[in-house]
Amino acid sequence: MKRLNQIWAATLLAALVVGVAPTTALSLCLHPAGDLTGSGFTDVADAQCSIITTLRLLRGEPLPICLAGPVATADANCDSHINVADSLLVIQYAMRVPISPILDTDGDNCPDKCTPQTPTPYTDPALVALYLFDEGQGMLTADATHGEGVYPLTLTNAEWVPSIFGHGVAFDIDGKGVAAPRPETTTPNAFTVGIWAKPADYNKLQTVVANGNPYSMQQHWALYIADGRMMALLNTVDMQDMVITPTRPVVPDEWQHLTMVVDVDQEQLRFYHNGVLVYVHPWTEELNTEPALSLIVGMGATTPVGYCGAVDELAIWARVLTDAEIAEVAAMP
């Protein structure tokens, strides 16, 4: 108990000295509450891990190995920020002190914000990548499903711009964009890719998002726009195919949500624009996922297919989202 009291005092001092380390997080209560290390019980090690996590996020360093899960694991009060308030809460859990009824009105020892509500696509365990572009400055943008320092996208000749969600990034037609080498984010037979886009020029073939090599033509999949149409490139072990929508739903200089769904079980490739299904194409082949390639946004392997415009909120799910879920993601803020 003395050791926990010392940690409590150190945490309060840290709050006065360094403030908070905000980061996007999506969290629920742990079982038991505050068990950041995954040991099956909450003690001084969890309190220490919470403090270390906060300090590392402040410095832009990778998450500590003590954290048994993604960055959201450390968001003890579920306020979408990792800071000393979370550390103080974990210390309370370790000391077996009931948390404030202001945070926990139903007395279940879990902050009300952490109580599971109706699941949303952004709290889905199948969400394997989420880039919110909330930083507004710097050369990196974090994956909100893993935390800062893990699979960041590196911006190359891109600029931060206002978007409907606060901040986004914009590219010119020179084929510069963002990329992150990372493990494969999609499954070969079922996945969903969604992104907000504001194209400045929609007449040329442009790469909006892809899984590929940013310095060659090697790609497992890609979502393009071309002459107002949405287009997909899909690679299997035996073939490469390009599919384009017959209509032209994409418009220039407006924020719009683009979604591509690969659904081998239903033998379909589907395109959605602003949450509305615009085209279904027969598709029965599993995609090639080897070797692991980079996640690319706005960057073409060659200059003519670089994206010109702004993007925001890229999300990838390792499953097929329903029409209702896609409409929810595409809802304007």
CATH number at residue 264: 2.60.120.200
The token pair that represents 6 in the structure block: 């010392």
Binning pLDDT at 50, 70 and 90, where does residue 22 land? Answer: very low
Least confident of 187-196, 234-243, 275-284, 319-328: 234-243
Q: Mark whether 274 and 128 lie in a shared domain.
A: yes
Asked whether residue 51 carries a pLDDT value surpassing 50, the answer given is yes
Cα radius of gyration rounded to whole Å, the chain: 21
The predicted model scores a pTM of: 0.66
Domain end: 114, 140, 157, which one? Answer: 114
Q: Please give the average per-residue pLDDT across 162-190, as a whole number.
A: 70
Domain end: 76, 98, 114, which one? Answer: 114
Nearest C-alpha neighbor of 206 from the set 183, 182, 176: 176
The whole-number pLDDT of residue 257 equals: 97
Q: Mark whether 129 and 238 lie in a shared domain.
A: yes
Asked whether residue 12 carries a pLDDT value surpassing 50, the answer given is no
Binning pLDDT at 50, 70 and 90, where does residue 20 land? Answer: very low
State the sign of the Cα–Cα–Cα–Cα dihedral 26, 259, 141, 296.
positive
Print the domain residue range for 50.
2-114
Domain end: 76, 97, 114, which one? Answer: 114
Contact criterion met (CB below 8 Å) for 279 and 230? yes
The whole-number pLDDT of residue 23 equals: 44
